[in-house]
Amino acid sequence: MVRAAVLPAVGAPLEIAEIDLPEPGPGQVRVRLAAAGVCHSDLSLSDGTMRVPVPAVLGHEGAGTVVSVGEGVTGIAPGAEVVLNWAPSCGSCHACSLGEVWLCADALTGAGNVYARRTSDGSDLHPGLNVAAFAEETVVAAGCVLPAPDGIPLADAALLGCAVLTGYGAVHHSAGVRPGESVAVFGVGGVGLAALQAARIAGASKIVAVDVSAAKESLARAAGATDYVVASDTTAREIRALTGRHGVDVAVECVGRAVTIRAAWDSTRRGGRTTVVGIGGKDQQVTFNALEIFHWGRTLAGCVYGNCDPARDLPVLAEHVRAGRLDLAMLVTERIGLEGIPGAFENMVAGKGGRAVVEF
């Protein structure tokens, strides 16, 4: 039996419960979690913005140690330290054949499977986004684990599985920030802080952080921001004033709200690029008129998982960490137990803090 944070129904409070976790079957791996990050996507699953079969164990950003492996698993042995990968690519669908593994059609096909039972009532449990990291231990497909980088504590390495891959990839892969360009990052949460660091690593000349909370300015500047704007109806105007009235070359939106996406678009220069990382609900409608699309010549792009291939990009991120260019620990503003996850959700709704991390 292991303890886990269970979502009993969409919109319901999480329950801390003991669950009956089976031994790994063919092609599966059992992992003892060291740490799990609390991501906004987990909140989106819990409140119904994104769909998840329930009851479920959420959590998709984590790291830990392999306990046991199932039949047919090779290259992974008990005792190995791993980072969880919530979107494993199949390697054979159309997107994978194009090298766009972050768009794999089969990445989440196992997310609705029953993977454990709740001991209190025997109900089936589903793994949120494949990995169910809000538990002391989990059983995942072998493709959901990647070797943890040497020399990086597991409590920090957990962030590599989502926040850092997403923020770094949004800047380097999706937006393709070049040295000397100016960048605005909307939303100073875990992904936004990673994006700010990534913009600094890319050699951006001016890095503007935007958030509803003035209290996050020092955190944003520590991550690499050269300027800070408290979000308001005049955000785009303020950013243009900081950039010779042109606007930034690149805006990275990490919130997922229509008003923020529109502000990011309005903040970019003519011919600039806006990358949307935040996951919004289907009721969040963003509108543009045909003339402005022609006149501004801007590019608006979605971004899934930072357009990253985790197997390719994780070693790159690890080298940045070891060289001191990327600080994982500074992304963490709260370290909690399983019981602290609801409070972390409340902080996200209120726009407080960076990344909360569950430590086991």
- What backbone phi and psi angles, to 5 degrees, belong to 30? -100, 130
Q: Yes or no: is domain 167-304 CATH 3.40.50.720? A: yes
For 156-165, what is each residue's pLDDT tens digit?
999 999 999 9
Confidence (pTM): 0.95
What are the sequence ranges of the domains in the chain?
2-161+327-359, 167-304
Separation between Cα atoms, residue 268 and residue 287, nearest integer Å: 16
Query: How far is Cα 315 from Cα 321, in angstroms, rounded to an integer?
Result: 10
Distance CA 333, CA 350 (A): 14
How much is the average pLDDT of 287-310?
97
Q: State the CATH class of domain 2-161+327-359.
A: alpha beta
CA separation for the pair 110, 126 (Å, rounded): 9
Task: Write the DSSP symbol of residue 9.
Answer: S
Residue 132 Cα to chain centre, angstroms: 15
Share of the chain above pLDDT 90, in %: 91
* Model pLDDT for residues 282-293, shown as the tens digit of each residue: 899 999 999 999
The tens digit of pLDDT for each residue in 21-41 reads 999 999 999 999 999 999 999
- The amino acid present at 324, given as its one-letter code, is G
Pairing verdict, β 299-302 and 332-336: unpaired
Alpha carbon separation from 353 to 188, 190, 216 (Å, rounded) = 8, 8, 7
| Residue 112 pLDDT grade (very low, low, confident, very high; cuts 50, 70, 90) | confident
Please enumerate in sequence order all residues whose Cβ is within 8 A of that of 115, keeping only pairs 6 or more positions apart, or say none.
21, 22, 57, 125, 126, 127, 132, 138, 139
3-state secondary structure of 250: strand
Does residue 18 contact residue 120 with C-beta atoms inside 8 Å? Answer: yes
Rounded CA separation 36/53 (Å) = 21
Alpha-carbon gap, residue 2 to 170, rounded angstroms? 36
DSSP-derived letter for residue 335 is E
3-state secondary structure of 31: strand
Report the mean per-residue pLDDT for the chain: 96
Q: Tell me how long the chain is.
A: 360
Fold agreement (2-161+327-359, 167-304): no
Residue 124's pLDDT is: 93
State whether residue 299 is helix, strand or coil.
strand
Q: Considering only residues 113 and 146, tell me which one the structure prediction assigns the higher pLDDT.
A: 146
**Tens digit of pLDDT for each residue in 177-232?**
999 999 999 999 999 999 999 999 999 999 999 999 999 999 999 999 999 999 99
Q: What is the pLDDT of residue 351?
A: 86
pLDDT number for residue 16: 95
> Where do we find the tokens 């709260």?
334
User: Residue 305 to residues 23, 86, 87, 178: CA-CA distances in angstroms?
Assistant: 29, 10, 8, 20
Closest to 270 in 3D by CA, of 288, 245, 252, 289: 245
Beta pairing partners, 81: 65
Indicate the pLDDT class of residue 109, thresholds 50, 70 and 90: confident
Strand, helix or coil at 43? helix
Confidence of residue 43 (pLDDT cuts 50, 70, 90): very high
Q: Which amino acid is at 117?
A: R
CA 108 to each of CA 87, 89, 127, 214, 316: distance values in angstroms, whole numbers, following the listed order: 6, 9, 10, 37, 25
